[in-house]
Amino acid sequence: MVRGFEKPAARWAAGHRGVDLALEAGGSVLAPYEGEVVFAGTVVDRQVLTLEHPDGRRSSFEPVSNPLPVGSRVQAGDAIAQLDSNIQHCAPSFCLHWGVREPAPGSETARRGLDYTNPLLLLGLEGPSVLLPIGDDFAA
């Protein structure tokens, strides 16, 4: 990982709404979880691909090239695009930005009220810290 998730204090505030993962130029971008391609197009100066997962979360990946077309269904581990070799998001090296949005509490659909969350939670790689006792003698 090149850069981790930094949740902004407010929806409009500064932060890093995803993770940057080291990947070689032209490398395969793989689906982290099953889903459907709901967007594949240009945002500002780069191509972005967005998957909607069965639980309502949406994963977005950028910068990509050769994305699958909208409507494509994928399984975890399927190739969905390639890392764009013309954009160095993490100059001087290449990286993939992966952002995840999930339905906000009380939202009616996954298309409205989406909040950014740490993408590594989707993989079960990060979670709340848990303090465990050392040995059997932990009574105070």
For 34-92, the pLDDT digits (tens) are 999 999 999 999 999 999 999 999 999 999 999 999 999 999 999 999 999 988 878 88
- Closest to 40 measured CA to CA, from 29, 48, 32, 30: 48
d(CA 109, CA 3) in angstroms, rounded, equals 30
Query: Is residue 69 one of the residues assigned to a domain?
Result: no
- The domain tally of the chain equals 1
pTM, entire model: 0.80
Confirm if 28 and 64 have CB atoms less than 8 A apart: no
Q: Which domain holds residue 50?
A: 1-6+20-57+95-116
